[in-house]
A and B are shown apart, each in its own frame.
Chain A
């Protein structure tokens, strides 16, 4: 066999293997999409694994309004958006101080903060639950936002510190000579230069906070305040075996992070690598 045709076979083999694998991976997602637009009667008659015989969006309607997914989605966004913004603001401030100034004990502080994030959350659940009761924050979205900020900080400080450390000192020195205050240096120089890392962490932390279940069910009690992950479990209990509604609920719960992923794919993947390999 000559070289070009062997190359062609290798390419075909690659696409066959990788394509098959991708199809296998996407199959569960496709199945849920199909199930979410089937009618209940169709599923009851033909089985969950059977071929679809109907098309209706009523499952979405039921999950959205009767199932409380609309409220849950709003709750999730009310928690996620402030949480991501505040965490990144606080983390970049700490990373700036620790990476650009000769703070005493800066290395120890950095590692202590990272260590806090590496702790298994289970050790914190009971005390945090009691702490929110003690401060009167139990069963409020504020509590969830605060807990998520506190627990996430260490990791973001560590990543941003690594990133800011690589910015040449001369840039900052020049600004200081021109009379810039530390806040101006932070806001005008260091933050803009850290934008790639901030974008990456933003995409990453959005999905982490949005997808969280454990903290939500630790500090919240009322159904009306639950974020979308916890509400999805509730939906499963409420609509037992009504798979069109449950599937529609899953689609609603997954949509925001999938949108973020598709829109910011590059940043997202960069974020994972920043967090791990750096």
Chain B
């Protein structure tokens, strides 16, 4: 018995070590995220309340406690309300064409094309063009010496100003919305394409036999089938689209002598740009007020996103009612939508899995 005693002791030690390894490692591995989130995610949000309740200078730091004065100040600034209006106006002007175009492009791509990869890559080019760069180029296109202004002038519109897109509020929103549409349409089209490819092909066959043409198939089969993806895309567009900054910041930058602060009369001042100007602009140090804007705007985003979510769902629901034209397809479809509506996440995961494995095989 005695010669055996050292051996179990060694095993015991390494076993203990290994058990400790198995127990502690998972926490160690997830800790970078939680540490990073605690310091750079959670703490700033809490700290933001504190900042919003104080005078705060960029150089001098914390000033005196002012309670809700910063919030009251912001709510009394016409620029804040203008910025909210501008943000929503640009958002709507960008969202609608983006949705329509990306759905159409996806439908065109959802065919048995030659050189598929070429087309898919080409429409994704705008996504890798630096947003500030494309904003600068579009400012040139819409500027005094650009392509569009002479057209307006030839039509006899806005002939009293050299660069109507920097002058007129609505036109400046159109210009900025164009930049956003340019950047995201191809990206969203690929997301829609992935969803369209997951639509069972026998639905189209059934619809065809029941006499539905291409357009009818698109509206009665394709659109209802990709409903969860549409909701997802509209939600991400909402959250991202309300935070417009890059485009508004450099819009008048293309040598037109602009200040990058949203126009002489705040024509294209967006809320994030307003926050930036208050907290970090060259001309004032109102970090407390900027923090208040951050809170108010976060509230607006949350409310609007929820509203958008319910609205989108309601509209999509009414659109997915079975139709006369393709009764068989509609029946299958209804079943599919029912299944899909309960588990949009599972469905997204399915699509994700198949594409990822495809990628790994390459």
* A and B: bona fide binding partners: no
Which residues of A does B touch, CB under 8 Å?
Answer: none
B→A interface (CB under 8 Å): none
